[in-house]
Chain A
Amino acid sequence: MWGLNLPVVLALAAIGGVLAWRRANTLVWLLYTGGALWAFFRFGFAVPIPQSVATIYLGITGLALVCYASSSRERLSETIQPIQRLILEPRYRLALAGLLVALPALAAYNVYADLTVPLEAPGFGREVHPPPPTEMTVHDETIDMATAENPYLHYKHDDPELYAEHLENGRRVYYENCFWCHGDGMGGDGMFAHGLNPVPSNFNDVGTLPILQSSFVQWRIAKGAPGLPASGTPWDSAMPAWEKFLTNEEMWDVNLFIYDFNGYEPRALGQH
């Protein structure tokens, strides 16, 4: 549900419930919050979140917990006193010894696990939406990237029938050419997607089509991977330069179609 790993989330919540019921002290709560969030970021999602993002979140969590513990004298002493007692009082000697052994062991295990992760191909950050050129020429037609709009978009209101025709043509183009990679449902999960790196664009994604002007999409369609600037590390992307295969009208039509299919509108001009 909601992309969460429910058993983990429920288990964490249950532990929290127990702590609330037992009226745990501040230190325990702090430890629980830190630990629970760590576990949540690590295991709480059905699709694991990337390590880098989890690290950012944990950093923020840690900062917030430190702020919380030290933002009043009372809480600070509530946090520190149990630790002091653990260190000072003879009856906790065994627990202290255990902790003294356990923490280094944990650290050692962590380092060991880091060192022995199975090798993986090096991954490189990549600009997913590199800046487009200011203009481009496709089939002898020059398109100003800043102002160009899909020439058929306005039919949506002006001439629905013609619009439907263009959509239908876009549908044909898409299912003759694109769905192998971008998928039948446009989830970027076509039958060849698993063999490609970077993976094909997911058009269902809220962060792809709606934030792009249709001229940008047209640029990507027409010029494909070979037309990417150096910052887009073009040479892994399998996106063809469709100007080799399609006419301008076909490309605008498929541009129209992928927006329509997903229920998105291109980003309007001049807006950020």
Chain B
Amino acid sequence: MNRNRIIFGIGVLAFVSVIATVRLGGFLVDNEYRQPDRQVAAQEEQGEAELTPRQQGIADEQAADEAEARARPYEEAEYRTVSFVGSRVTVWVLAQLHLLFAAFVLAVPLFAFIIEFVGYVKKEERYNKLAYEFTKLLSVSFSMTATFGAFLTFGLIILYPKFTNYLMHIFSPTFLPYVLLFFLEALFLYSYYYGWGKFGPKMHLFLGFMLNIVGTAIMFIANAWLTFMMSPGRRDDVDGDGVPDFVSAVSESGALLSLRDAFFNFTWMPINIHRIIANVAFGGSIAAAYAAFRYLQAKTDEEKAHFDWMGYVGNFVAIIAFLPLPFAGYYLAAEIYAFSQTLGIQMMGGTFSWLFVIQAALIGNLFLGANYYLWLGMGRMEGGVHFQKFIKWLLIAIALCFAVWATPRYAISSVSEIAAMGGSSHPQLSYLGQMSAKNTAVNILILSTYMSFLLYRRTGRQSVHPHRQLLTRAQAIVFSSAAALVTFYGVYGYFVDSATRIRFAIPQVYSVLAALVVITVIDLPLYRNARQSGETKWGKVPAISQYALIFIALSFTWLMGLMGYVRSGLRQEWHVYGVVLDTSPDAYTPSLGFATQVVSVTVLIFFGLIGVVFWLSSLGGKKDWEPKAVADGDGRLEGGQAA
């Protein structure tokens, strides 16, 4: 793309927006803030005698209006509304955008810090460079986050004044620390970014560490506000009988009883954990998408190699964070269930049960995409053919688990299908719709994805460890016994009562986690200093793999949007569940179809904006502008290529 054209375009855009703002302002003033007295005065100048009866009537009406306006007492509005989109959608989209950017801003420092740390330990410069590359995305995103945060705040104050006021009643003491932390976040972020290479490595790492601490603290505070809306109370064993009781943070009329209970409420910690993990996965995938974007733009082999590697690392981070995410999700769901059976059933069996089928499709796509990327990556190594034969089986396992996970508990069926099945569930498929089957499926999915990664890791490498055969066998045994254990518990779950079956999820999870850890522990020495049977050719990967990265980032973003809908929609017509009722016309829970439309629009806006972020970040890598006479030849060449 020609830079001159872009600058011209921006100029035009800026001009148009200035004109538009002026016009809009004029329009508002004309319509909204008319000054009746001045007009009346103007008429008075004309003299009363000259007024026709019609003019007299108009004047009287205006006088009456004015008198009424003066007499009208000030009333506090409960709700205001935006025409066309409506209050809910406005706040929804703003909150979601704020959240997406915030997630990105919180996550990138996390793994930038880790990568920098790895580079510091390994003394490898390329890690340092990579971390810097990630950090470059931050500053623009940080401004975006703040902008949307401000939008969201205004949106809430304008559209939901009464409710916002209520939240302030509860949480006002937390606002000051929040702002303070935000200030610190900005401080650390900019010093971390601009101080790259200016501070000593230890000092710089400290800055990165503080940045993460502060960022996480900010999120924890904000999470308290929103989780309070879901579960306004804390779990505590008040009467000392060993069974935790529910301690409400507010009185029945909504007055605050204890800020501590409101803050450390039921779903606060699960949401915190779920969000940290999801943020890392999301941030990784967006960073990988950035790398893919740059890879596709890249002209030189060197650039290609760099961005290929960056995309790989970003995706690696995303997938590693993604693996435990389902468990965090279960923890959150379990807490919601424990808080209220009604909310729980609402979520899993009620209005939202279909949402989880869509979620299954998204997560299945994510797993499939991640594996696909790894398999394509095997083409980077020479001698990768050896492992190709496993791909078929991995794929079968993944597709099977995907299918099990996407099996709805109650399928959409026509009347004749219901008649044929003799009920709303199919005699065989109903087994697959069960928690047992789904837990098993997700565990096997995780194992398979890890297996793909292992295969990828050893493509083109040969271990030189003295006990390599033994160790490889040990890995195989650990892997297959974990898979067997998970499957065993999954099947056995159908033969025991529910209380026991629910407990089966725990050994399943632990066996998978243990297997991952053990296999990794074995794998590290096994492939230390491994003999390379061929070179890893970074940058020599089919372009479609880069599109797969972008697809993964898209799916992640969309998934986050969808989960935002369910988390917020669960409350149904409540602002604060069970305490403050939403009485606005938007109080209903929109249908899934509508929600997915809003989510899609949000995702598109986000990707539009993130595209700008990418573009701005990529400017840093470009040559500086030079006087035209010199640049002419280059420019033409570039133009030719682009065409």
Contact = CB atoms under 8 A, between A and B. Distances in A.
Interface in A238-272: 264-268, 270-272
Interface in A127-184: 127-134, 145-146
Interface string A59-89: 0110110011011111100000000000000
B494 to A, nearest CB: 6
Contacts of A187: 422
A116 interface: no
B417 A50 contact: yes
Given A64-B368, A70-B544, A47 B349 contact: no
Contact of B379 (A73, A125, A188): A73
Interface string A185-216: 00111000000011101100111001101001
A129 B411 contact: no
B428 A45 contact: yes
Contacts of B435: 211
B406 interface: yes
> Is chain A's interface secondary structure helix, strand, loop, or mixed overall?
loop
Interface size band for A: 35 or more
Q: Which of B338, B429, B542 is packed against the most chain A CB atoms within 10 Å? A: B429
B420 A131 contact: no
A267 B499 CA distance: 6
A3 interface: yes
Nearest to A126: B424
B426 to A, nearest CB: 5
B351 A231 contact: yes
A264 B342 contact: no
A265 B497 contact: yes
Contacts of B167: none
Interface stretch (B307-315, B396-404, B626-634): B396-404
A212 to B, nearest CB: 9
A53 interface: yes
A120 interface: yes
B418 A199 contact: yes
Given A67-B372, A72-B378, A207 B409 contact: yes
Interface in B497-546: 497-499, 501-502, 542, 544
A235 interface: no
A2 B349 contact: no
Given A47-B427, A123-B414, A131-B346, A67 B341 contact: no
B430 interface: yes
A15 interface: no
Given A56-B406, A123-B418, A125-B412, A271 B337 contact: yes
B423 A205 contact: yes
A56 B371 CA distance: 20
Contacts of B351: 127, 231
Given A52-B411, A63-B368, A206 B417 contact: no
Contacts of B337: 270-272
B409 A146 contact: no
B376 A71 contact: yes
Contacts of A120: 414-416
Given A71-B391, A131-B349, A267 B428 contact: no
Given A60-B402, A125-B412, A206 B431 contact: yes
A178 B436 CA distance: 30
Nearest to A118: B416
Contacts of B428: 2-3, 45, 47, 49
Interface in B530-572: 542, 544
Contacts of B368: 63-64, 67
27 contacts: A47-B420, A47-B422, A49-B411, A50-B421, A50-B426, A52-B408, A52-B411, A56-B408, A60-B364, A60-B406, A64-B368, A71-B372, A72-B375, A72-B376, A120-B414, A123-B412, A127-B353, A134-B341, A146-B340, A146-B341, A188-B422, A197-B415, A198-B424, A199-B422, A205-B430, A271-B499, A272-B334
Interface of B: 330, 333-334, 336-338, 340-346, 348-351, 353-354, 357, 361, 364-365, 368, 371-372, 375-376, 378-379, 385, 388, 391-392, 395-396, 398-399, 402-403, 406-418, 420-431, 433-435, 494, 497-499, 501-502, 542, 544
Interface of A: 2-3, 45, 47-53, 56-57, 60-61, 63-64, 67-68, 70-75, 120-121, 123, 125-134, 145-146, 187-189, 197-199, 201-202, 205-207, 210-211, 213, 216, 231, 264-268, 270-272
**What are the 4 closest A-B residue pairs judged by CB atoms, nearest first?**
A265-B497, A272-B337, A268-B499, A50-B413
Given A45-B426, A72-B375, 16 more contacts: A47-B427, A48-B417, A52-B412, A56-B406, A64-B399, A64-B402, A71-B375, A72-B378, A125-B412, A206-B494, A207-B434, A231-B350, A265-B497, A271-B502, A272-B330, A272-B333
